[in-house]
A and B are shown apart, each in its own frame.
Chain A
Amino acid sequence: MSKTLRPKVLVVGGGPGGYVAAIRAGQLGLETVLVEAERPGGTCLIKGCIPSKAIIHAAGLFEEMTRASSVAGHLGIRLETVPKLDLAATMRWKDGVVDKLTGGVAGLLRRAHVTVLNGWASFADAKSCAVETADGTVKIEPEHVILATGSVPVELPSMPFGGNILSSTEALSLTDLPRTLAVVGAGYIGLELGIAFAKLGVRVALVEVAERILPLYDEALTRPVADWLHKHDVEMHLQAKALGTSARGLDIETALSDRFTIPAEKILVTVGRKPRTEGWGLEKMAIEMEGRFIKIDERCATSTTNVWAIGDVTGEPMLAHRASAQGEMVAEIIAGKRRRFDPAAIPAICFTEPEIVSVGLDAPGEEHVVGQFPFMANGRALSMDAGDVGTFVRTIAEKNSGRIVGIQGVGKHISELAGEFVTLVEMGATLEDLAGIIHAHPTLGEATHESALKALGHAIHV
Chain B
Amino acid sequence: MADYDYDVLVIGSGPGGYVAAIRAAQLGLKTACAESRETLGGTCLNVGCIPSKALLNASELFHEAKSGALAKHGVKLGNVELDLPTMLADKDKAVTGLTGGIEYLFKKNKIDWLKAHATFKDAHTVEVAGKSVTAKNIIIATGSSVTPLPGVAVDNDKGIVVDSTGALSFKKVPGHLVVIGGGVIGLELGSVWQRLGAKVTVVEFLDQILPGMDGEVRKEAAKLFAKQGFEIKTSTKVTGVSVKGKKATVTVEPAAGGAVETIEADAVLVAIGRRPNTEGLGLDKIGLELNKRGQIETDHEFATKVPGIWAVGDVIPGPMLAHKSEDEGIAVAENIAGLTGLVNHDVIPSVVYTHPEIAGVGLTEEQAKERGEVKIGKFPMLANSRAKAIAETEGFVKIIADAASDKVLGVWIIAAPAGTMIAQAAQAMEFGATSEDIAYTCHAHPTHNEAVKEAAMAVQGKPIHI
Assuming A85-B75, A108-B466, is B442 touching A54 (CB within 8 A)?
no
A44 contacts B by Cβ under 8 Å: yes
Name A382's contact: one of B81, B97, B343, B420 (CB within 8 Å). B97
Query: With A87-B74, A324-B445 given, is the CB distance from A439 to B349 under 8 Å?
Result: yes
A257 / chain B contacts, CB cutoff of 8 Å: none
Within 8 A of B (CB), among A60-89: 61-62, 64-65, 68, 72-81, 83-89
**Chain A contact patch, size range:** 35 or more
Q: Which residues in window 365-420 of B have CB below 8 A to A?
A: 383, 385-386, 388-391, 417, 419-420
Stretch among A203-211, A223-231, A340-348 lining the B interface: A340-348
Shortest Cβ distance from residue A411 to the other chain B in the assembled complex, whole angstroms:
12
Q: Are B424 and A80 in touch, CB under 8 angstroms?
A: no
**Shortest Cβ-Cβ A-B pairs, 3 listed:** A76-B87, A90-B74, A419-B449
What 0/1 pattern do residues 333 to 362 of A give for CB contact below 8 A with B? 000000000010111110000000100000
Task: Report whether over half of chain A's contact residues are helix, strand or loop; otherwise say mixed.
Answer: helix
Contact B444 A347 (CB under 8 A): yes
Contact B427 A442 (CB under 8 A): no
CA A61 to CA B72, docked complex, whole Å: 11
CA of A345 to CA of B437, assembled, Å: 14
Q: B58 near A: Cβ within 8 Å?
A: yes
Complex CA–CA separation, A86 to B72 (angstroms): 9
- Selecting from A19-27, A118-126, A280-288, the interface stretch reads A19-27
Binds A, one of B154-162, B198-206, B208-216, B319-327: B319-327
Ordered by A's residue number, 26 sampled pairs between the chains whose C-beta atoms are within 8 Å are A16-B445, A50-B385, A57-B391, A61-B75, A62-B74, A65-B75, A75-B90, A76-B87, A324-B445, A349-B444, A383-B56, A383-B57, A418-B443, A419-B421, A419-B444, A422-B443, A426-B441, A427-B433, A438-B327, A438-B343, A440-B349, A441-B321, A443-B419, A445-B420, A446-B323, A458-B26
Please report the C-alpha to C-alpha distance between residue A132 and residue B460 in the assembled complex, in whole angstroms.
38
Looking at B45-53, B138-146, B219-227, B267-275, the stretch in contact with chain A turns out to be B45-53
Instruction: Say whether A80 contacts B78, CB under 8 Å.
Output: yes
Q: Which residue of B lies closest to A52 (CB)?
A: B389
- CB atoms of A49 and B65 under 8 A apart: no
Residues of B within 8 A of A418 (CB): 443-444, 447, 449
Closest to B102 in A: A461
The reply on B194 being an interface residue by CB < 8 A is: no
**Is A380 part of the contact surface with B, judged by Cβ < 8 Å?**
yes
B84 within 8 A of A: yes
A301 within 8 A of B: no
Question: Which residues in window 54-88 of B have CB below 8 A to A?
Answer: 54, 56-58, 61-62, 64-65, 70-88
Does A182 belong to the interface (CB within 8 Å)?
no
Interface size class of B (residues with CB under 8 A): 35 or more
Contact assessment for A442 and B421 in the assembled complex, using a CB-CB cutoff below 8 Å: no
Q: Are B74 and A77 neighbours in the complex by a CB distance under 8 Å? A: no
A385: B residues at CB distance < 8 A: 57
User: Given the interface contacts A442-B322, A460-B19, does A89 sit within 8 Å of B71 by beta carbon?
Assistant: yes
* B2 at interface by CB-CB < 8 Å: no
Q: Which residues of A contact B116 (CB under 8 A)?
A: none
Q: Which of A20, A23, A444 contacts B420 (CB 8 A)?
A: A444
Is A415 in contact with B447, judged by CB distance below 8 angstroms?
A: yes
**Contact (Cβ within 8 A) A68 B65:** yes
* Distance between A316 CB and nearest chain B CB, rounded to angstroms: 14
Contacts of A348 in B (CB 8 A): 444
- The answer on a CB contact under 8 Å between A419 and B443 is yes
* Residue from A77, A328, A424 in contact with B82 in the complex, judged by beta carbons closer than 8 Å: A77
Cα-based distance from A36 to B61 in the complex (angstroms): 41
Instruction: Tell me the dominant secondary structure on chain B's binding face.
Output: helix
Instruction: State whether the Cβ of A217 lies closer than 8 Å to any Cβ in chain B.
Output: no
Contact A382 B50 (CB under 8 A): yes
Residue of B nearest to A329 (CB): B440
Q: Is B9 part of the contact surface with A, judged by Cβ < 8 Å?
A: no
Is B94 an interface residue when CB atoms closer than 8 A count as contact? yes
Contact with A along B163-198 (1 / 0, CB 8 A): 000000000000000000000000000000000000
Contacts of B433 in A (CB 8 A): 427
Contact of A75 with B58 in the complex, beta carbons under 8 Å: yes
Interface membership of chain A positions 423-462, coded 1 if the CB is closer than 8 angstroms to chain B and 0 otherwise = 1101101000110111111111110100000000010111
Identify A420's interface contact among B58, B71, B342, B427, CB under 8 A.
B427
Do B347 and A443 have beta carbons less than 8 Å apart?
A: no
Q: Is A319 at the interface (CB under 8 A from chain B)?
A: yes
Residues of A within 8 A of B423 (CB): 417, 419-420, 439-440, 443, 445, 448
Assuming A75-B87, A438-B426, A445-B420, is B50 touching A379 (CB within 8 A)? yes
Residues of A within 8 A of B64 (CB): 61
Q: Is A172 an interface residue (CB 8 A)?
A: no
**Cβ contacts B444-466/A at 8 Å (1 or 0 each):** 11111110100000000010111
Q: Which of A79, A80, A349, A419 has the most CB of B within 10 A?
A: A419
Distance (whole angstroms) from the CB of B140 to the closest CB of chain A: 20
Q: How far is the CA of A78 from the CA of B86 in the complex (A)?
A: 10
Report chain B residues within 8 Å CB of A113: none
Contacts A382-B50, A422-B442 given; does A53 touch B419 at CB 8 Å? no
Alpha-carbon gap, A134 to B225, bound state (A) = 49
Q: Which segment, of A93-101, A147-155, A271-279, faces chain B? A: A93-101
Q: Does A104 contact B (CB under 8 A)?
A: yes
B281 at the interface (CB under 8 A from A): no
Q: Does B359 interact with chain A (Cβ within 8 Å)?
A: yes
| A384 nearest CB neighbor, chain B only | B57
- In this assembly, does B101 line the interface, its C-beta being within 8 Å of a C-beta of chain A? yes
